[in-house]
Each structure stands twice: as C-alpha cells, then as structure tokens.
Amino acid sequence: MGSPELLVWAWLPLSITSSGEFDPHAVTAMDKQTPPKPGDDFNVVIVGAGNINFGSDEGPWNHSFRLEHKLGPRLKVVALIDPSAARADAALQIKRDSFVLSAYKDTIVYPTMKDFIDKHKPEHAPRAIWVGSPPAFRGREEQGRDVEKQIIDAFPNVGIFIEKPVSTGPVDQALNVAKRLVDAGNIVSVGYMLRYLKVVQKMKAIIEENNLKVMATNARYVMAYEHTANFHWWDKAQSCGPIVEQATHFCDLSRYFGGEVDLSTVMAHSLEHFEPAGQLAKVPIAEDKITPDQRIPRITCASWKYESGAVGSLTHAVALHGFNYATELDVICDGYSLRLVDPYNAPVLYLRRPGDDHEEVIRYQNDDPFFSEVANLIDNIEKGPGSAPILSSYEDAAMTYALTWAIREASERNIKKPAA
C-alpha cells in the first residue's frame, strides 16, 4: 500500500512569503477571493478578440474574465484591437449583454495598435495592455509585427501581458525584443501559466528546501487530436508546428526546473506523416491540402543537456482520440522523484523522497494559475515591481522559444524523406 493521499486545502489570503517567493498555499480560485474594492478606473487595452482573451469551449483560458474578477467595477476596457471588426464587435456584445457592461460599454474597436496610438484620447491611456493576438504578428522587428516596440514607445510606463509563444519569427529577433523590453523597464509578464500552479511551486519549494540539484527532467505531452479542427494548426507554415506552438509549455516547465539549456546539445527525431507508423485514422481536416513538407510530425522525441550538466528530454505525440490529453513531467534529484501529472486539468504531484519507497500524492483544490498570473501583474502595476511574483519574464520566455525552435530544427535535420 502506498502512503495515504495528501489533499492539501488552502484557504489563506493571497500572500508572498518573507523570502518573496510565491506561496503555494495561497487562494487562487476566483470565487474564493475578497471582492474587489471600489476605486479609480483601471484602463486596459486588449489586443486580440479571439479565444485566449474572450474564452471558448476548448479550454479554461479567458483573460478578460480574470481581469473582471480581479478589478471588478474599476475595469475599463478602453480599446479592443483586432483587424476583424466583426469579431471584435461580437466579443464586446456578449460582454455588454452581461453584468460587466460597465467595463465594456465605451470600448472602442481599432484595427491595429498604431490606430489606437494615433487616435486615442489622453484619458484613455492604458495602465495595462493585454496582448493575445496570434504570435505571427508580434515578437519581431519589422514594421507591423513589432507591437512590443510600438507599445513601449507610446506608453513607457504601461504594464504588458503577452501570450506565449512570444513569436513565430526568427529567434534572434525575439531575443532582441526581449532586450528592448528589459532596457525600457516596463513590467512584462508572459503567459506560461503552468509556472503558477501550486503543485509546481510545491516542487520548487521541495527542491530549494532540501538543497537539491536537478539531475534530469523528462516531459511527455500526448495530445488528443481528433477534435483539433483548426486547419492552421496542422500546417507548420501557419503554426510553426506542435513543438513551437503546443509543447512550448512543457519546454518552459523543463527549463523552469532544469535551468538554461545548452542549445548546441539538442538532438531530436520525429515520426512524419509519410512514414508507415505515422498514419493517423482521425485527422479532422483535409490534410492533403497542406504542402507535404509543411505537415506536422506525429511524434517528436528530443534530448538535451542543461548548462548545469543535467539532462532533459521531451516526447510530444499527436496520437490520442477523444478529448483528454496525457501530460506528465518528471524531475529527478538525488533521492527524490517529483512527478507532475495532468497539469492542465487536475494537477497532481507524486513525490518519492528518501526513507520511503512509496509515493506521496499531493494536490491542491481550487487552483487557477490563469488568475494568479493576471492578479500578480495587476498587483505589480498598482503596488510596484516585486509586490507579487511574475514568474515568466519576456527574456525568460524568449529562451523557451529558442529551445522549441532548436528541437524542431534538430528533428527536421534527421528526417529521411521517401524516395521520389
């Protein structure tokens, strides 16, 4: 028999430990928060009227919903920036038909960030800008895809949230954007929300409290593909492929525990669509309409060395039917095995430590990492830098982006194409 399951309940106020670290026992569920206090309006600009900012049936993401619960009646969305006025108007109408009307009744739709900068009234200057537009339109240096530069030039003190991945463009440009943001001094948070999970922070605490050194990380991401009907997702020319677009969260978690990766050591192999083992039965789109070289790999297996000498590995698979994914991350230290299971839906930590061959089971109820990343950025804007931990900076996220591209490129170098 294993040791009894440890159900860790957390009903404490949102707080920071004396060392400034994230408190894994803090309440993060929105319905457990103290109601927002009245106060001055808090102007927000939202970039992108799609699912990540306004929600969908496909997952729990919905930044506007978290902003509403964090700021309450103070929230004023002064602008929604999206090239599709119809999409933006539809998203706003849903909000205006609900109890959050006051936050959106005066929202103005603009097609581009430049239009907003050129035309907005001084009283509509934002305190935060939430960037959830597709990564193809940001993280670069060329005009029109340089939204970060536009923002910091026009609003040097604004807080910025940017979704992951930071770009789909060249890695060196993303790293240059990171340097520009650091030099500008804006408060910036990137949407690697899994870092904010209580079980993830518990893992960090165990490692730090026991002075452990990570020896290895092993990430596994097996997606359920039959309902992924977004045509662009299956086209590497549009999405950059599943490692850059999807496995990025697990590449980021791997770096979060293992440290910086020696990118020169990255090795990878892939199972491609044209190979016998790569034939999928339930692809929901007409994949034959995608150029063969741009069809996504079915399996990618990668390994690398961290700068510490530790070893990392990742397996990403497009394989399951149904809806639920299978996702795990192992972190191995001397005497310890920390196994994170299902971080997207029902996060559980299986912990083995010295003196006991059985695994403890640790889970936290009512955790919402999306709310934590939203709340922490707002707190930094209102109370000053460092008032709440921002766990993913742009500079850090750009290094994760570099790792995902190193994996993709390594796997593509090893593809053995069929004879013509």
**Average pLDDT of span 136-141:** 94
**Average pLDDT of span 254-259:** 99
Q: How far apart, in whole angstroms, are the C-alpha atoms of residue 382 and residue 363? A: 31
Lowest mean pLDDT among 53-67, 121-135, 163-177, 195-209: 53-67
Q: What is the mean pLDDT of the chain?
A: 93
Q: How far apart, in whole angstroms, are the C-alpha atoms of residue 298 and residue 280? A: 8
**Average pLDDT of span 147-151:** 98
Judged by phi (left if over 0) then psi (alpha if -120 to 50, else beta), residue 144 lies in left
Q: What is the pLDDT of residue 24?
A: 67
Q: What is the pLDDT of residue 21?
A: 63
Residue ranges matching CATH 3.30.360.10 in the chain: 197-366+394-413
Tens of pLDDT, residue by residue over 302-338, are 999 999 999 999 999 999 999 999 999 999 999 999 9
Judged by phi (left if over 0) then psi (alpha if -120 to 50, else beta), residue 138 lies in beta
- Fold classification of 36-186 is Rossmann fold (3.40.50)
| Dihedral over alpha carbons 167, 201, 15, 209 (to 10 degrees) | -130
Instruction: Give, in order, the Cα–Cα distances in Å from 305 to each of 212, 216, 268, 355.
Output: 18, 9, 12, 29
Tens of pLDDT, residue by residue over 350-404, are 999 999 999 999 999 989 999 999 999 999 999 999 999 999 999 999 999 999 9
Residue 113 has pLDDT above 80, yes or no: yes
Q: How far apart, in whole angstroms, are the C-alpha atoms of residue 18 and residue 30? A: 24
Q: How far apart, in whole angstroms, are the C-alpha atoms of residue 172 and residue 385? A: 27
Percentage of the residues of the chain whose pLDDT score is greater than 70: 93
Instruction: Give, in order, the Cα–Cα distances in Å from 321 to each of 152, 203, 284, 318.
Output: 44, 31, 11, 9
Task: Give the pTM.
Answer: 0.92
**Average pLDDT of span 287-299:** 98
Q: What is the pLDDT of residue 22?
A: 56
Lowest mean pLDDT among 36-40, 155-159, 276-280, 333-337: 36-40
Which contacts (CB < 8 Å, 24+ apart) does range 28-34 have?
A: 28/196, 28/198, 28/366, 28/367, 28/368, 28/369, 28/371, 28/372, 28/375, 29/366, 29/367, 29/368, 29/371, 30/66, 30/69, 30/368, 30/371, 31/366, 32/366, 33/69, 33/70
Residue 112 has pLDDT above 90, yes or no: yes
Q: How far apart, in whole angstroms, are the C-alpha atoms of residue 312 and residue 301? A: 11
Residue ranges matching CATH 3.40.50.720 in the chain: 36-186
Tens of pLDDT, residue by residue over 150-196, are 999 999 999 999 999 999 999 999 999 999 999 999 999 999 999 99
**Average pLDDT of span 341-351:** 97
Report the relative pairing of strands 356-364 and 6-8 from DSSP bridges.
parallel
**Average pLDDT of span 261-271:** 99
Judged by phi (left if over 0) then psi (alpha if -120 to 50, else beta), residue 402 lies in alpha
Residue 7 has pLDDT above 50, yes or no: no
Domain 197-366+394-413: give its CATH architecture.
2-Layer Sandwich (3.30)
3-state secondary structure the chain: CCCCCEEECCCECCCECCCCCECCCECCCHHHCCCCCCCCCEEEEEECCCHHHHCECCECCCHHHHHHHHHHHHEEEEEEECCCHHHHHHHHHHHHCCCCHHHHCCCEEECCHHHHHHHCCHHHCCCEEEECCCHHHCCCCCCCCCHHHHHHHHCCCCEEEECCCCCCCCHHHHHHHHHHHHHHCCCEEECCHHHHCHHHHHHHHHHHHCCCCEEEEEEEEEEECCCCCCHHHHEHHHHCCHHHHCCHHHHHHHHHHHCCEEEEEEEEEEECCCCHHHCCCCCCCCHHHCCHHHECCCEEEEEEEECCCCEEEEEEEEEECCCCCEEEEEEEECCEEEEEECCCCCCEEEEEECCEEEEEEEEECCCCHHHHHHHHHHHHHHHCCCCCCCCCCHHHHHHHHHHHHHHHHHHHHCCCCCCC
Q: What is the pLDDT of residue 18?
A: 36
